[in-house]
Structures are given as C-alpha cells and as structure tokens.
Amino acid sequence: MPDSLILFTESPRTSICLFPVYRFRHFPRRRRRPSASRIPLVGWYLGLIKTKPILTKSITSALIYTAADLSSQCAPWIQSVKHLAVGLKCERERLLNPDYHIFVVIVQLFLQTIASSEPYDLVRTLRMAGYGMMIVGPSLHLWFNFMAKVLPKRDLITTLKKIALGQTVYGPTLTVVFFSLNAGLQGENGAEIIARLKRDLLPTMTSGVMYWPFCDFVTFRFIPVHLQPLVSNSFSYLWSVYLTYMASLEKADTKALQSS
C-alpha cells in the first residue's frame, strides 16, 4: 500500500492538489511493566503508610525485630545441626553395625545435640518485638520527618549533615534506650544498667559507625521521606541481630568496673 494519498479537486478544466493525506504504519504498543505500587500487596502497604503512618511503621519495626531475634537465637541451633552431622560421620561404624539400630543412634545424637544447645527464649523475642513496636517505629517516623523539615534538600552536603546528626544524636540515644530498657526488663538494677552501658555502649557505637553511614546515605539520598523508615528498618535487620546478641550477654560485673 502507498505511504500517502493525494486528494484532488476536479473541474472540467483543472485538477488541483489540496493536501496530502499520509497513512502511518501501525506499530503495536509495548506493554508497560507494572510498577511496584500496582502490585496488590505493595499498593496496600503504601496506602497504609499514607493513611496510618505511625501504626504501620511500628508494626513493621516489630516484625523486623522479631525476625532478627529469631535469627539470632537460631544461630546456635544451626551450629548444633552441624555438630549433629559431624557426630553422624563419627558414628559411621555404629550405624553400619547390625547390632545397633540406625534410628536409635540418630535419636541419641539428636538428644545430645538438643541438650547441649540453649533453649529458645520466647520472652526475649517479645521484648524485642515490643521495643520495635513502641520505640523504634514511632521514633523513626518522627526522626525522618524532622530531618526532612530541617534539611529538606538531597544534595551531597545535606545528606552528609543528616548522616552526622544520625550518628551523633539519634543513634546513641536509641542505643542507650535499648540497653537500659532491655536490662531493666530483665530485672537489672540501676547500678547494673550503668555497668552494662559502660561495658557495651562504646563497642556497639563503634560497630554502628562502620555499618550505618552507608545505609543512611542510601536512605537520605535516594528514598522518599514516607518510605525512609521502611528502608531503614530493612537495613536494621542485620543490626538488630547484633543488638540482640549484645543484649543477651551476661550482666556486667559492677565491682570490676568500679575498681577499673
């Protein structure tokens, strides 16, 4: 088919071309990939962040801290499974011996493995979930909104200022609250809490300086304000595993710290 047609007006004497009419070839439209907001679950979550921001971010923090504590407590169990596998290799002769039933040997090794591992602490998980729900979620919402008002730009200098404030104000404050609250819920008195802070606060802050600046840079530079708590919570999963480990350490020796 021709790419264009010419319309003419005809009279007995002349034939005049008025204008060309072009026929454009039809190209099929490419299907757009669905954005994240069009996925039902993601769209539902984003809607909750806009309608109920504090509650949604608090529940999200509680779930992340619960998962972090479960991961922290499951680590010894994973090590126990490795010991069980080593034990099975060592007991190969007994397993192949017809005088011993294979099921009995495996059960014996399994019971020894369970006895050597620490039991699961449900109360500890509930403490971590409550801390994420009542402290982390609301404080992250308020902190990121405060940063957006005080330092609204996203340029490099402003981002570095936000990171510095996070490392000097928000991070240390929340770490002190975490250790104090967790120790108090475990029954430690004021002197023991102070001793724990003297022992654990500085190593924790040093570890935080090596982890959080990169996370904060990504969060402040590239993420919208209403999603920044979610991204920060996602980064805090690994950090929460470390915090739960630090919080599960034995009480600090108050006499040794006082003498030092």
Q: What is the pLDDT of residues 30-40, one digit of tens each?
A: 665 555 556 68
Backbone Cα Rg of the chain: 31
| Residue at 11 is within a domain | no
pLDDT tens per residue, range 41-64 = 878 998 999 999 999 999 999 999
Cα three-residue angle 218-166-193, rounded to 5 degrees: 130
Residue 37 lies in a domain: no
pLDDT of residue 108 exceeding 70: no
- Count of domains for the chain: 1
| C-alpha span between 217 and 236 (Å, rounded) | 14
Is there a domain that residue 127 lies in? yes
Strand partners, 6: 20
Query: The domain containing residue 223 runs over which residues?
Result: 53-259
| CB distance 7 to 18 below 8 Å | yes
Nearest to 84 by CA among 51, 57, 106, 69: 106
Q: Could you tell me which residues come within 8 angstroms of residue 226 by beta carbon, excluding any fewer than 6 positions away?
A: 49, 50, 53
Name which residue leads in pLDDT, 58 or 251: 58
Structural domain contains residue 12: no
44, part of any domain = no
Which residue type is seen at 189?
Answer: N
Average pLDDT, the chain: 79
Q: 121-172 pLDDT, tens per residue?
A: 899 999 999 999 999 999 999 999 999 999 999 999 999 999 999 999 999 9
